[in-house]
Amino acid sequence: MKKKSDFNIFEFFITAAIILVIVHTFLEDFALLSHWSQNIRDALMILGFCFDLFFTIEFLSRLYLAQNSKGMAHYFVHQYGWVDFLASVPLLMLSSGPQFVTYFVRDLSSAGLGSLLGFITLLKLIKTIRIARILRLLRIIKVFRNIKYADSPMAQRHVAKIITIAVSVIVAGVFCVSLVTSGLNLSANKDGFESIRQKYLNIIAESAANGMSMSRIVDSLLITAKAHDVVMIQKGDQVYFSKYNESEMARLVFGEDLKEARLDASGIKVVFDTRGENITLERIQAQDSLTYFCIVLLVVIAYLLFYSPHFAMTVSDPVNVMKQGMAQKEYNLEVKIPELFEDDDIFQLAKLFNEKYLPLKDRMADKPEDKSSVLDLGLADIQSMMDDEF
């Protein structure tokens, strides 16, 4: 008994965590679109990592425990193990994990561990596979798997199944489409950076050809080009313009945050910031994510609001009434047959129940013998009484 209550507490805790993580998923994208402060976004990112880690541990624990009961395959296929997997491990590996490590390793690198630069770049690349975040929507399935919203286990299972199919299809479809479009976006971004670089090179080449002084070239670069993106202008070892101080520069990663345009003939190098372009891309993706999030949520709500009652009315409720009519001797309520569905198999059966079974049962109940079978009072009902004295 204690074990069962412990299990229920655990499941309640898991469900609460899932609801929180869904809210978190929404907030993470919303924060980006609403220009919330970087600190809040960082906190949300760390929270996301903690959730993913927690669900990964939960998945591995369930997988381990399944080994001792019905087997891993049974858990994976029949007990929504695949949802537990997809909504945890890939997210930890491809989304929140790289983000989290990048966030902390970047601080280490700023402290002088420059050798980690390559690793950071790799993680940053992985981080760009934001489409993995879509898998988080699968957690909605887990919520509706854990919450009991229908009296009948059959209704619960059918509605959960149909929600699983709908959400999985949407997520899988979005995942595939996003995979293709994000590839296109990355390539478009790369082309964009190339054209910016080319623009800087042209200005430098043109200015050098006109014999302009370095200060004029700097002005020309800052005026003509996207000034807010220029981070540093250098000729040889001499820095003519720098937007940030040394420590601020150390937090930025060459190749990822920063790119450079260098004209070897003149020895002039322009370092420009690419984060603006990346943030725009992130915002587009966040907007898409929110749209998918809303679509999935609306689909689930629509199923719960419209399909679930329909299933109850046309399948589980009539079955329940017939079941009670057959199990309890004094239960003689007829099945209500909606005109619209009277040709359904289930209501054809209900018609037979109403017209044949109940009248027959009523006649049988009128026989004076076998009164004990209508007994509602059982020994279990008076167990506490029997222990007391009078």
Q: ∠ CA(82), CA(83), CA(84), 5° rounding?
A: 90
Q: Using the rule CB under 8 A, which residue among 194, 332, 340, 352 binds another protein?
A: 332
Report phi then psi at 280, rounded to 5: -60, -45
**378 binding another protein? (CB under 8 A):** yes
Binding piece for another protein, criterion CB under 8 A, among 39-47, 206-214, 279-287, 379-387: 379-387
Query: First-to-last CA distance in the chain?
Result: 31
Contact region with another protein (CB under 8 A), list: 14-22, 51-59, 269-277, 373-381: 373-381
Cβ nearer to another protein, comparing 279 with 352: 352
Residue 200 vs 311, nearer CB to another protein: 311
Q: Is residue 355 at the binding interface for another protein, with CB under 8 A as the rule? A: yes
Q: Quick one: which segment of 79-87, 124-132, 164-172, 370-378 binds another protein (CB under 8 A)? A: 370-378
Task: Kindly give, in sequence order, each residue whose CB lies less than 8 Å from that of residue 325, ignoring residues fewer than 6 positions away.
Answer: 331, 332, 333, 353, 357, 358, 361
The nearest distance, CB 370 to another protein, in angstroms, is 10
Verify binding: residue 83, another protein, rule CB under 8 A: no
**How buried is 127 (Cβ within 10 angstroms: 0-12 exposed, 13-18 middle, 19+ buried)?**
buried
Nearer to another protein, 191 or 355 (CB): 355
**Is the torsion defined by CA of 151, 153, 158, 161 positive or negative?**
positive
Stretch of residues binding another protein (CB under 8 A), selected from 52-60, 75-83, 170-178, 364-372: 364-372
Interface pick for another protein out of 42, 194, 330, 342 (rule CB under 8 A): 330
One DSSP character per residue, 252-305 reads: S-BTTTEEEEEETTTTEEEEEE-HHHHHHHHHHHHHHHHHHHHHHHHHHHHIII
Q: Which residue, among 137, 162, 159, 164, has the nearest Cα to 148 in the 3D structure?
A: 159
Footprint on residues 267-326 left by another protein (CB under 8 A): 312-313, 316-318, 320-321, 324
Least Cβ distance, residue 149 to another protein (angstroms): 14
In this structure, what DSSP letter does residue 79 have?
A: S
Closest CA to 336 of 318, 348, 357: 318
Report if residue 339 touches another protein, rule: CB under 8 A: no
- The sign one gets for the Cα dihedral 167, 173, 177, 179 is positive
How many Å separate Cα 347 from the centre of its chain?
40
Tell me: does residue 39 bind another protein (CB under 8 A). no
By CB under 8 A, tell whether 3 contacts another protein. Answer: no
Does the footprint of another protein cover residue 376 (CB under 8 A)?
A: yes
Which one, 138 or 312, has the nearer CB to another protein?
312
Nearer to another protein, 245 or 372 (CB): 372
Nearest to residue 55, comparing CAs of 28, 26, 93? 93
Site size toward another protein (CB under 8 A) is 38
Of 168-176, 213-221, 237-245, 361-369, which segment contacts another protein by CB under 8 A?
361-369
Cα–Cα distance, 86 to 136 (Å, whole number): 8
Which position among 124, 164, 335, 353 is part of the footprint of another protein (CB under 8 A)? 335
Nearer to another protein, 32 or 321 (CB): 321
Confirm or reject binding of residue 8 to another protein (CB under 8 A).
no
Residue 333 found at the interface with another protein (CB under 8 A)? yes
For residue 311, the minimal CB distance to another protein (Å) is: 12
Minimum CB–partner distance for residue 386 and another protein (Å): 5
Q: Please report where in the chains the tokens 């059918």 appear, as a residue.
A: 158
- Determine the Cα–Cα distance for residues 84 and 143; give it in Å rounded to an integer: 11
Per the CB < 8 A criterion, the answer to whether 123 and 102 are in contact is yes
Q: Which residues bind another protein (CB under 8 A)?
A: 312-313, 316-318, 320-321, 324, 330, 332-336, 354-355, 358-359, 362-363, 365-368, 371-372, 374-379, 381-382, 385-386, 389-390
